[in-house]
Chain A
């Protein structure tokens, strides 16, 4: 049976929330940006007016100010955004129980079984978009399709405050003409590989021979072919209110054996960064860190430790992993492989303030920092910004998602 999937995207999310609360700046170019007073903060979001100046997420504030000297810059308040993110999800849940979050401002909804009650997918999309506008005072754009990939592309086609329907009749004209890099998980490096064999658009990717893509990108190539043809069958998972996944983790057999704690630290940070990014995409936080260590003698140990408060921050995860490691590994052998896993998961929006105040202020800063890293990487690629420690030994660093050292499970979960 044909499914009906909506993808709802809250437009210019952080900036829209700020503009709602400050009517006097709504007509001005506005960006949300960390570290404003130092001018080298990174743009996390921009409103429609700022978009006209070609200001882009991920670029530094000083550069944006060159494009638009009258730019209004506002420091982010994550707590406020979480409240709106949760409120939007509660609206979605009125129409279907099948809501899957992708980051704070995007959700997929499977409304196949809701249409008898609420009307067609398109009608439902308009209802939801209008409800969000009336109740939350911000806008959403919605894509309607029979699979998650096309729905997501649809929500990006017309915005703000719009609905785009992708059908078996119009997808070749609407979707296939887009650049291949618009597809979910086609990052810079995959895009480059595709261009080298002359595949620029989603349509060209869709019409390529499967075995060619397999040769170029491995099994991942076939998955992308399925995406491009609208044949993705991955379900919309209900994740927010009942957490179904038990843990999120990555492991890696390193390019060379690890001989000291500095090497181990580098690898833990690589792993923790990708685990943290996946947690943030799923809007989850976890309370327990689990590590696995495989020595050159191939013996395997697994240990875990509790965090003081639930987190989706790489720095928390990595330092906990390192602490556990130090208590467990006596260096009788070198290390061949490491794994990091976060368990005891809960929805990010539900855990509230569980930490002490002074710690909370510090954590809020690190939270903004890691969201900033996400923004920079989203725009300029994974290696555009790195922790200094990863420059020490380039052989140990890898981009777990784009080079699919680790499968991008946040989508397939």
Chain B
């Protein structure tokens, strides 16, 4: 699997929590994050990295979005 870095639009809530709203996949398409199901520190063995892992629902599917230092990445096929 590949490590795919993505542009993310995110909001800092007034409680100080960082919430990703949407991201641009490598095909140039923007996808909305419909819901965040989980958020924790985790490694990605598949893509090779570690940071804060958001489990997101996007287009009805569950997918991981990782924040590593100050870059966002996803696990590509």
Contacts and interface: CB of A to CB of B under 8 A. Distances in A.
Interface stretch (B8-16, B20-28, B40-48): B40-48
A412 interface: no
Contacts of B47: 23
Interface residues of B, number: 12
A137 B44 contact: yes
Contact of A135 (B1, B41, B48): B41
A135 B42 contact: yes
Contacts of A22: 48
**DSSP class of B's interface residues: helix, strand, loop or mixed?**
strand
B58 interface: no
Contacts of B44: 137
A134 interface: yes
Interface in B22-57: 40-50
Nearest to A84: B50
A134 B1 CA distance: 18
A23 B1 contact: yes
A21 B49 contact: yes
A23 to B, nearest CB: 5
Interface string A122-140: 0000000000011111100
Contact of A20 (B1, B40, B41, B43): B43
Contacts of A138: 43
A87 B1 CA distance: 25
A133 B47 CA distance: 15
B48 A21 contact: yes
Contacts of B45: 20, 23, 137
B39 to A, nearest CB: 13
B55 to A, nearest CB: 13
A20 B46 contact: no
Contacts of B1: 23
Interface in A347-384: none
A92 to B, nearest CB: 14
B50 A137 contact: yes
B45 to A, nearest CB: 6
Interface in A11-47: 20-23
Contacts of B48: 20-23
A29 B67 CA distance: 29
Contacts of A21: 48-49
A185 to B, nearest CB: 34
Contacts of A87: 41
Interface of B: 1, 40-50
Interface of A: 20-23, 87, 133-138
16 contacts: A20-B43, A20-B45, A20-B49, A21-B48, A22-B48, A23-B46, A23-B47, A87-B41, A134-B42, A135-B40, A135-B41, A135-B42, A136-B43, A136-B50, A137-B44, A138-B43
Given A20-B48, A23-B48, 20 more contacts: A20-B43, A20-B45, A21-B48, A22-B48, A23-B1, A23-B45, A23-B46, A87-B41, A134-B43, A135-B40, A135-B41, A135-B43, A135-B50, A136-B43, A136-B50, A137-B43, A137-B45, A137-B49, A137-B50, A138-B43
